[in-house]
Structures are given as C-alpha cells and as structure tokens.
Structure 1
C-alpha cells in the first residue's frame, strides 16, 4: 500500500448498503495507520423512515447531513491519513431519492453551505453490486431495522449510485465490482483487492475481480 500513501491522503470508500464498504474502510485504516471515520450511526429517525412514517425522510436526511458535515470538518484538519466509509455527496444522492421537491429545496440550502467548507477525497473506491446480490446480503445479515427495506428501494438506490459515479470526476476513482467476491470473509479476495489498491490509480479505473461469493 506504500504507493497510495507516499504522503497523507484522504480515501473514501462508497457504495450501497451491505456492499462491504465499512469492512474495507476499517481494513484500509488499520493497514495504513490512518484515521478511520465511520458513517454516523444511531440516527433516531431511521427505523421510522424505513417504516414509511410521514415526515421521517426529511428528519433522517437532515440528521445525516449535520453529522457527516461535522465528522468531515474535523477530518479536514487531521495530520494523519484519513479513510472514511462514505463521501459527503452521498447525502445528496439519498436526498434526491427520499425527499419531496419542497423538502429538497430546503435541504439543498444547507447542503451547499456545508459542501463548500469540506475537502474532496484524493481517492474514492466505489464498491458496486447488483440489487440481487445486495438483497441476499440483507437477508443473511438479518438486521432488524433493515427488514423493512423494500426491493424497489434497493433498486432505486443502486441506480442512483450508478448514475452518480458515471458522472463523477472530483477525485481519482476506482470502481470495484463486488458481486462475485467476498473480501469480508475470504482472505484471498481481500488480498486480491488490496493488491489492486497498491497500484497507481489515476482518473477513473475499473476492477472486475472473480470470486466464489459476494461480500457481506
């Protein structure tokens, strides 16, 4: 991994739910002795949003926006390399899926104000997976709050990620197809991915590894 970290870097790992981003970000941070910033948890509105309670989409989105801004604002001043399991733009991606036009107009005022104060990552690792693979992982994981997530919502989120990263140019970008690998539970798959990450990444590049299973 030395080539990635000849100088302090800001790496973000992204992708839809259960694609393996948190596991990869944690491993990268440990390997590189970097500061690890974890996606904000314990959103008090999230379970009610998944349950389709009116008004909870906006409340959940604004909570995430404020928490993500505060985390990345602090990381901006870090002398250590930084690894996160999200990018700030993720917040807007979900907002466009979840909010009404009126809610989105108010949300965007705060988003733009916060975004201007934050740095872009030096490298983004986008973990892809098909909706079918993600549905299987959600069932295997069995997290209570995630059981209410519909198949249609997963498909919508995957489509939003694909559209976003098709047009992404703010950082160097490695797109990794994870549908056929399990780098969380299979050490060979993890080594294969880490080997690719040790090589130079400039612009947008793709990595299509083959494996036996899908990451959790």
Structure 2
C-alpha cells in the first residue's frame, strides 16, 4: 500500500478510493480506538530525516527516536561506524549485526507519548543497506545467509510493528550535495554512486514488495526541497503526515493535543504547489 505525494486528494471531497477503504478496514491497519502511533522516517543518506525529526521533536505530543549513532561510534571504545566505511569488506557484517541489535532496542523501547517517530528501522537496514552490500559483493553469501537467518527468526518471534512509514524521496544528487555540506567525518568515503545504489534499493523496497514492511502504509514525500529554509514546506510536510494519521485514528492526534496553529495549512504562493494531505492508496 503506497501513498504517493503527487496523488493526494483534498479531504472532504468524497472521493475516497476503494483501496483507501480497504486500508482502513484491513487487519494490519491501526484500530480507530488506538491511543498511540509509531512511525518510521525512511530515506537515503542526507535525505532530510534528521531535519524532519527535529520538527517533530518541537511538539509536546511527540517523542523522537534517532538512529543510535553514538552507540555505533563507541562499541567497546571502537568506532565501528567509521571502521565500516573505511573497510566495508571487513566490517560490514559486524556493523550490520550491531545495527540490527540496536535498532531492535529502539523499536521496542517504551513509548511515553501519543506519537513516536523513529529514524529509519530494522527493515531498511535489512532491505536497503544489507541487500545493497550483498549485491555489491561487499557482504559475501555466507555472511548474508547468516544475517538473514538471524533476521528472519527475530521477525518470526517478535516482529517490530509500525503504523506508518514516511519515505523521504530525494534524488541521489541532492543527497550527495547535502552530504558534502554537512561534512561528517565517517561519511567522507561515501560516493555518489553509492547513494544512487541505495536510492534504487529504497525505491524497490517501498515501491513494490509490500510484504517487506508488513503491509504498513507508506507515505511518499518529495524531500528534494530545503524544508529548513522554507517553513511553508515543512508545514506542508507535517500536515500531510498528521492528516494521514488522524484519518487512520482520530483519537491519536485530536485537536486538544495539537498546539494551536502548529500544523496550519500553508498558503499557496506564486510559483509553488501545495500538496493536499490525504493520498490515494495504490495496491
């Protein structure tokens, strides 16, 4: 089930698709009596995930859970993230095994507020990053088999649940430009070709095989524009997310919980396009 930002419809228009009705009534969809939500923000390196989480973090009804990068930078005194970038053939399997553990800890952490927003998930680790390592030959077939057997067993025992995946679709070229601007030491070896490869994995994961993310609804947002500099854009993006969640379960983001004016709809300016919050669902 995929919600595409370019296919949004105006709420209240009475033009709900049959697919949207199926989503609301499907067993995997959140119940209307649900009191909390957990969503994952997904996207390529430098796609704008941290910026979106910072916007969410300003709201009192939201808790944000970032990638546990500090743990990756200090595993027994060693920066395993940097080691992976410097020598991926040697360290990718070890690093991704630790990513799996630490992201599971994030998924299963106690939720204290109505909305929890996670930066990435165990699913993108498996179906984007690990898959990319295997395809490029950096992770050999034995390592891949070991990882997937461990991952599949975990999924069969206690599969992490998500109510929504927000995919920040960003061109590899834009990601690379942002990566160079932020100049993180560990990311120095990251090439444009690597970002293009990851982009392809993300498009394949969130654009085709829905079973990979448990049929969780996916909201695709255009993240090529700079939401930091343009508040209308970040308001618009937040409107789409909150309107979608509210449609699934009105109790979670009811008006009393949302600070007045925080998510007011941006006004359309000359030369800009304002996307409406609710999207058509494609099977």
Regarding TM over 0.5, the answer is yes
Quick one: distance in 2 between partners of 1:198 and 1:54? 41
2:139 is equivalent to residue 104 of structure 1: no
Secondary structure of the residue aligned to 1:198 is helix
Aligned to 1:36: 64
Residue 168 of structure 1 and its aligned partner are, at CA, apart by: 4.9
Name segments (4+ residues, structure 1) moved above 4 Å. Answer: none
Equivalent residues of 2:167, 2:219 under 8 A apart? yes
Secondary structure of the residue aligned to 1:74 is coil
Cα distance change on mapping 1:118 and 1:29 into 2, 3 Å: farther
Match of 1:60 among 95, 110, 116: 95
2:207 is equivalent to residue 166 of structure 1: yes
Secondary structure of the residue aligned to 1:17 is coil
Rg (Cα) greater in structure:
2
Aligned to 1:46: 81
Residue 53 of structure 1 and its aligned partner are, at CA, apart by: 5.0
Unaligned runs of 5+ in 1: 204-209, 212-216
Equivalent residues of 1:131, 1:155 under 8 A apart? yes
Cα distance change on mapping 1:166 and 1:31 into 2, 3 Å: same
RMSD: 2.4
Under a length normalisation based on structure 2, what TM-score does the superposition of the two structures give?
0.64
Aligned to 1:193: 237
Aligned to 1:113: 153
2:170 is equivalent to residue 129 of structure 1: yes
Aligned to 2:39: 11
Aligned to 1:147: 188
Residue 122 of structure 1 and its aligned partner are, at CA, apart by: 0.8
Which one has more relative contact order, counting CA pairs under 8 Å at least 6 apart?
2
Aligned to 1:206: none
Under a length normalisation based on structure 1, what TM-score does the superposition of the two structures give?
0.83
Quick one: distance in 1 between partners of 2:62 and 2:88? 39
Quick one: distance in 2 between partners of 1:118 and 1:34? 23
Equivalent residues of 2:172, 2:199 under 8 A apart? yes
Residue 157 of structure 1 and its aligned partner are, at CA, apart by: 0.6
Quick one: distance in 2 between partners of 1:96 and 1:47? 20
Quick one: distance in 2 between partners of 1:30 and 1:113? 37
